[in-house]
Chains A and B, each alone.
Chain A
Amino acid sequence: GQNIDQPTEMTATEGAIVQINCTYQTSGFNGLFWYQQHAGEAPTFLSYNVLDGLEEKGRFSSFLSRSKGYSYLLLKELQMKDSASYLCASRGGTYKYIFGTGTRLKVLA
């Protein structure tokens, strides 16, 4: 089957670090993506992992463990503009993308 699980909501303070977890069950797994979506806007690409390990890109990092079906997105030095939904998505063997319902992150001053 195909399934993505991530927390519905998270709250953090400006300047802090937050980790958003994602677990997946995907037949023929072939890549894990993170997208950011501000309210009322379209999703925008943040990161891609296909091999185990950590990918760092500025304040954002993404980690993947294929054996555990687990990924996380790490946001450092949180800013108010990081308040958004973060979507975890997996790609299966048929190149079908499955998106989670997203984690709504609120950054407080």
Chain B
Amino acid sequence: DAGVIQSPRHEVTEMGQEVTLRCKPISGHDYLFWYRQTMMRGLELLIYFNNNVPIDDSGMPEDRFSAKMPNASFSTLKIQPSEPRDSAVYFCASSFGLAGGARETQYFGPGTRLLVL
């Protein structure tokens, strides 16, 4: 398996522009997670999906952020409009489930490094 795939790997944009981050989870995984990582705040869970349905989006910072999962093999995280404080590394992760142990291991993608000027 190729693992979790994210695109783009790097994104530089200007304040006010729309940014779309993409993720392809590992085939067969039922859960998909979006995280944001910064030096100051560490790794923060933004939202997670179970079987394509958003379960908890309480970590989404503002209405400028939205996430979708139209099918089991694709998810997007959109920021519109983007602001400099959104600059961070955004990770997507997937797992088999929440039964504990090895099946709950989250496999992270390589991340998208976003810089908003």
Contact = CB atoms under 8 A, between A and B. Distances in A.
A100 B40 CA distance: 11
Interface of A: 31, 41-45, 48, 50, 87, 89, 91, 94-102
Contacts of B35: 99
Given A48-B104, A95-B56, A97-B33, A42 B42 contact: no
B41 A101 contact: yes
Contact of B44 (A42, A95, A99): A99
Contacts, number: 50
Contacts of A44: 108
25 contacts: A31-B100, A41-B110, A42-B91, A42-B109, A42-B111, A43-B43, A43-B106, A43-B108, A44-B108, A45-B107, A48-B100, A48-B101, A48-B104, A87-B42, A89-B43, A94-B56, A95-B56, A95-B98, A96-B56, A96-B59, A97-B45, A97-B106, A98-B45, A100-B42, A102-B43
Interface residues of B, number: 25
Nearest to B59: A96
A45 B58 CA distance: 24
Contacts of A50: 100
B56 A45 contact: no
A99 B110 CA distance: 18
Grouping DSSP codes into helix (H, G, I), strand (E, B) and loop, the A interface class, with mixed when no group exceeds half, is loop
A16 B33 CA distance: 36
B33 A42 contact: no
Interface in B30-48: 33, 35, 41-45, 48
Contact of B43 (A48, A87, A94, A95): A87
A29 to B, nearest CB: 12
A42 B4 CA distance: 11
Given A96-B56, A97-B106, 4 more contacts: A43-B43, A95-B48, A99-B44, A99-B45
B12 interface: no
